[in-house]
């Protein structure tokens, strides 16, 4: 937790929701019959209430331990949906049960509104890693000279061969380029980037230009390894999709994989530079309908055939 | 084409699958004429290796004829007869340059899986689960061989398949295991496991100058073959091995110990029971019974050489014994490419006769039976070779 941060609106909301989750969860687990009766579900649903309580406690724990992460608030939203679904069954009851169910539903809806607000806010400000926009930093050793590697990378139109999901990079001038990315869900994102700093055979730094839909910075460093063992290539990238609600959901999901994806991309770069090709087992025969298994897909995390 | 596919524990079947195709410029397609079942295939058969998927084609000891070549392969021609090493190596990386081919950094497309399990990834291997790349294996009629300009070795005319097939894996494995012992004249080497790898380790130990080799197993025909090759054989079901080794070496212990058994060690008595129970409840992934003995029995300052395959975690390993007595442990998947030509020469000179260990020659269709026979050591089985070409 950063010490300089004052308790802001969103943080107080998160905190309230965290305590609320813990309190409600405790109640549901400790006194499920009472809760079941007073929300119109009926005593017999005590078991269900206990389960809901357990989930509530988990959400609360998630919020309290990771106050900046969207995981907690989103799990609450999911939990609200579950609660509403359980309650909807009770709305068919009669008399006092029905009244209680209606009251409980109204209460859950009210809290849901707060939860959704909290979740969206946490999304747009933080990644799932809780440390700002999606950020990844990886190093790989490549058995080639810094000059050779720098030359390849500096021609950004080569990068789609290295970075999965990058469909194309169009070099427009010495410093400007236009990038097109294809997301796993099939949509495309485009942005312009400019080289902000370079030192031949050592460093290249770039960032997206003002007003782009995607905010990204990147840097690559080439340093000779001791003992003439080639070059250490260190890449750092940060990445955030601006604007829509859907974008912030995508950010959260994508950030789960960003370090691993960058590591895979650098491995691809190494294979290309050292062996001239990229190792793959796609489309090879097997005694099952499709050649590539989910394990391969997870491990290779790529949409292009190497 | 027909291929031997894995579908679950003790469930392998020969199925009809698509033929392999060239994918990368350095690939080749081999029409397989001979392929063998390996002791380490039994770990796959028994369900001990994670990340196998239903339908995976097994097999990593194979040879045959080149039928298709990628555009970048210049050192082979269509029609060449080649033996293919089981680790896949690019020839260009830090490890390949140092001839540590089984550690190639570029041949495992699933290196992130291996990294999670082992810290870093070794080379890709044919037919040995998705941890090592998920490459389709060689117990089939055809196989795609990546980096064909580095791996496959041409077979001289006049040599049968059976003479050279084992250069793909088990002969170099036994040899590297013995080489790792840093044998000096006068040395005594003890070998746990008289399966094919153990037998070749025994042979190699003598070739490398060992004065005595002591072989340990329980299967009579394997002990007999070890004796034929010059070893003194101990049956661990009849003799207390640690005591015997002490007696036979003037109390000091063998100078080097080779664990050619690996993770599925058959345990005797209480230690065996302990490991089986722990494995069954998943508190231990591997059973290091032979390894423990090898470590404890080895003389001070000696070497324990481990060609036996392990996958995960061991329990109750006497590392105190290892540390306090300066034991060297040498291990690894074989750097096959390094040994193929030197061992081919030895075969040509008659110093080794690899086909002596073949007890069964089966059609590819009979491979599932072969696995069963091999695992149960039925029918005096030592090594099974499959002939895909033969109907």
Dump pLDDT digits (tens) for B35-77. 999 999 999 999 888 889 999 999 999 999 999 999 999 999 9
User: Strand, coil or helix: what is A118?
Assistant: helix
pLDDT at residue A302 above 60?
Answer: no
Which chain A residue lies closest to B15 (C-alpha atoms)? Answer: A287
pLDDT at residue A284 above 70?
Answer: yes
pLDDT at residue A203 above 90?
Answer: yes
The strand pair at A214-224 and A176-182 is best described as: unpaired
In which band, very low, low, confident or very high, does the pLDDT at A253 lie, cut at 50, 70 and 90?
low
Q: In this structure, are residues A35 and A49 in contact, taking their beta carbons and an 8 Å threshold? A: yes
B15 vs A287: CB contact, 8 Å cut-off?
yes
In which band, very low, low, confident or very high, does the pLDDT at A303 lie, cut at 50, 70 and 90?
very low
Chain B CB contacts of A267 under 8 Å are 111
In terms of residues, how long is chain A?
A: 306
pTM of the model: 0.79
B93 vs A274: CB contact, 8 Å cut-off?
yes
Picking from B89, B35, B83, the residue whose alpha carbon sits closest to that of residue B57 is B35
A275 vs B26: CB contact, 8 Å cut-off?
yes
User: What backbone torsions phi and psi does residue B73 show, to the nearest 5 degrees?
Assistant: -95, 110
Q: Chain B interface, mutation test: which of A164, A231, A270, A275, most B Cβ atoms within 10 Å? A: A275
Render pLDDT for A174-183 as a digit per residue (tens, 0 to 9): 999 999 988 7
What is the enclosing helix (H) or strand (E) of B175? helix B170-179
B19 vs A267: CB contact, 8 Å cut-off?
no
A229 vs B94: CB contact, 8 Å cut-off?
yes
pLDDT at residue A99 above 90?
Answer: no
Q: What is the pLDDT of residue A295?
A: 72
Of the partner residues A264, A277, A299, the one whose CB lies closest to the CB of residue B24: A277
Render pLDDT for A268-280 as a digit per residue (tens, 0 to 9): 999 999 999 999 9
| CA distances, A286 to each of A291, B6, B53, B386 (Å) | 6, 9, 10, 19
User: Stretch A89-110: mean pLDDT, rounded?
Assistant: 82
User: Strand, coil or helix: what is B82?
Assistant: strand
The CA distance from A176 to A170, in Å, is 9
User: What backbone torsions phi and psi does residue B51 show, to the nearest 5 degrees?
Assistant: 70, 25
ipTM above 0.90, yes or no: no
Picking from A256, A255, A262, the residue whose alpha carbon sits closest to that of residue A241 is A255
Q: What is the pLDDT of residue A256?
A: 60
Q: What is the pLDDT of residue A124?
A: 58
DSSP B110: T
User: Stretch B13-28: mean pLDDT, rounded?
Assistant: 96
B136 vs A281: CB contact, 8 Å cut-off?
yes
In which band, very low, low, confident or very high, does the pLDDT at A131 lie, cut at 50, 70 and 90?
very low
User: Strand, coil or helix: what is B386?
Assistant: strand
Q: What percent of chain B has pLDDT over 90?
A: 88
A286 vs B55: CB contact, 8 Å cut-off?
yes
Write the burial class of residue A267 (CB in 10 Å: 0-12 exposed, 13-18 middle, 19+ buried): buried
In which band, very low, low, confident or very high, does the pLDDT at A292 lie, cut at 50, 70 and 90?
low
The CA distance from B165 to B200, in Å, is 14
Q: In this structure, are residues A24 and A45 in contact, taking their beta carbons and an 8 Å threshold? A: no
Q: In this structure, are residues A206 and A196 in contact, taking their beta carbons and an 8 Å threshold? A: yes
User: What backbone torsions phi and psi does residue B194 show, to the nearest 5 degrees?
Assistant: -110, 35
The strand pair at B124-125 and B87-88 is best described as: antiparallel
Q: Give start and end residues of each alpha helix (H) in B267-391.
A: 269-280, 289-297, 319-324, 336-348, 367-376
Q: What is the pLDDT of residue A243?
A: 66
- Window 266-305 of A, Cβ < 8 Å to B: 267, 270-271, 274-288, 291, 293, 295-296, 298-301
**B111–chain A Cβ distance below 8 A for any pair:** yes
Q: In this structure, are residues B359 and B382 in contact, taking their beta carbons and an 8 Å threshold? A: yes
A295 vs B25: CB contact, 8 Å cut-off?
no
The CA distance from A200 to A208, in Å, is 21
For CA atoms B50, B51, B55, B59, the dihedral sign is: negative
User: Strand, coil or helix: what is A215?
Assistant: strand
The rounded Cα A14 to chain-centroid distance in angstroms is 19
Q: Chain A interface, mutation test: which of B2, B4, B105, B142, most A Cβ atoms within 10 Å? A: B105
In terms of residues, how long is chain B?
A: 391
- Window 34-73 of B, Cβ < 8 Å to A: 51, 53-57, 72
What residues contact B118, with CB distance under 8 A and at least 6 apart? none
B133 vs A281: CB contact, 8 Å cut-off?
yes
B136 vs A293: CB contact, 8 Å cut-off?
no
pLDDT at residue B208 above 90?
Answer: yes
The CA distance from B76 to B78, in Å, is 7
The CA distance from B334 to B173, in Å, is 5
Q: In this structure, are residues B39 and B86 in contact, taking their beta carbons and an 8 Å threshold? A: no
Q: What is the pLDDT of residue A306?
A: 35
| CA distances, B369 to each of A287, B13, B97, B121, B384 (Å) | 18, 10, 41, 33, 11
What is the enclosing helix (H) or strand (E) of A198? strand A188-199
């Amino acid at each position: 937790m950063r010490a300089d941060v004052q308790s802001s609106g969103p943080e107080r909301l998160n905190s309230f929701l965290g305590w609320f989750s813990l309190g409600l969860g405790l109640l549901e687990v400790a006194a499920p019959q009472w809760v079941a009766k007073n929300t119109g579900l009926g005593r017999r649903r005590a078991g269900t209430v206990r389960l809901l309580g357990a989930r509530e406690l988990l959400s609360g724990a998630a919020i309290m331990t990771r106050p900046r992460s969207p995981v907690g608030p989103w799990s609450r939203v999911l939990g609200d949906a579950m609660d509403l679904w359980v309650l909807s069954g009770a709305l068919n009851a009669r008399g006092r049960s029905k009244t209680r169910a209606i009251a409980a539903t109204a209460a859950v809806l009210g809290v849901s509104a707060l939860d959704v607000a909290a979740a969206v806010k946490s999304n747009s400000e933080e990644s799932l890693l809780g440390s700002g926009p999606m950020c990844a930093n990886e190093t790989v050793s490549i058995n080639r000279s810094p000059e050779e590697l720098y030359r390849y990378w500096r021609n950004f139109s080569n990068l789609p061969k290295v970075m999965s999901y990058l469909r194309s990079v169009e070099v427009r001038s010495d410093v400007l380029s236009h990038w097109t990315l294809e997301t796993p869900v099939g949509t495309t994102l485009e942005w312009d980037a400019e080289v902000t700093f370079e030192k031949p055979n050592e460093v290249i730094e770039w960032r997206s230009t003002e007003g782009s839909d995607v905010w990204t910075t990147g840097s690559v460093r080439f340093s000779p390894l001791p003992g003439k063992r080639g070059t250490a290539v260190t890449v750092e990238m940060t990445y955030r999709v601006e604007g829509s609600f859907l974008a912030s959901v995508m950010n959260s999901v994508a950030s789960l994989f960003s370090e691993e994806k960058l590591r895979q991309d650098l491995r691809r770069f190494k294979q290309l530079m050292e062996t001239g090709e990229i190792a793959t087992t796609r489309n090879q025969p097997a005694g099952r309908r499709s050649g590539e298994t989910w394990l391969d897909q997870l491990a290779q995390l790529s949409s292009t055939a190497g | 084409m027909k291929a031997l596919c894995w579908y679950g524990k003790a469930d392998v079947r020969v199925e009809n699958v698509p033929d392999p195709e060239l994918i990368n410029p350095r690939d080749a397609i081999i029409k397989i004429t001979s392929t063998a079942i390996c002791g380490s295939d039994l770990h796959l058969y028994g369900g001990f290796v994670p990340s196998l998927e239903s339908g995976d084609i097994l097999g990593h000891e194979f040879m045959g004829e080149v039928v298709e070549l990628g555009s970048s392969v210049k050192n082979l021609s269509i029609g060449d007869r080649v033996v293919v090493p089981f680790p896949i190596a690019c020839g260009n990386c830090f490890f390949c340059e140092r001839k540590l081919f089984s550690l190639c950094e570029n041949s495992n497309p699933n290196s992130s899986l291996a990294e999670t399990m082992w810290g870093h990834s070794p080379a890709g291997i044919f037919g040995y689960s998705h941890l090592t790349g998920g490459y389709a294996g060689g117990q089939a009629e055809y196989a795609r061989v990546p980096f064909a300009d580095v791996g496959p070795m041409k077979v001289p005319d006049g040599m049968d398949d059976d003479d050279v097939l084992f250069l793909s894996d088990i002969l170099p494995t036994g040899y590297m295991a013995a080489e790792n012992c840093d044998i000096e004249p006068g040395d005594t080497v003890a070998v746990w496991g008289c399966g094919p790898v153990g037998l070749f380790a025994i042979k190699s130990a003598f070739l490398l100058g060992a004065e005595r080799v002591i072989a340990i197993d329980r299967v009579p025909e394997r002990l007999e073959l070890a004796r034929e090759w010059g070893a003194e054989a101990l049956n661990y079901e009849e003799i207390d091995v640690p005591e015997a080794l002490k007696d036979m070496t003037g109390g000091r212990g063998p100078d080097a110990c080779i664990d050619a058994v690996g993770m599925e060690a058959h345990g005797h008595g209480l230690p065996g029971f302990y490991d089986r129970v722990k494995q069954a409840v998943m508190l231990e992934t591997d059973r290091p019974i032979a390894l423990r003995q090898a470590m404890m029995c080895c003389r001070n300052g000696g070497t324990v050489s481990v060609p036996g395959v392990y996958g995960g975690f061991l329990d109750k390993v006497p590392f105190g014994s290892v540390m306090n007595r300066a034991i060297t442990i040498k291990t690894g998947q074989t750097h096959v490419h390094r040994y193929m030509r030197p061992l081919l020469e030895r075969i040509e000179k008659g110093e080794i006769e690899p086909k002596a260990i073949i007890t069964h020659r089966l059609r590819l269709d009979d491979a599932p039976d072969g696995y069963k026979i091999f695992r149960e050591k039925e029918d005096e089985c030592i090594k099974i070779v499959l002939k895909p070409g033969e109907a």
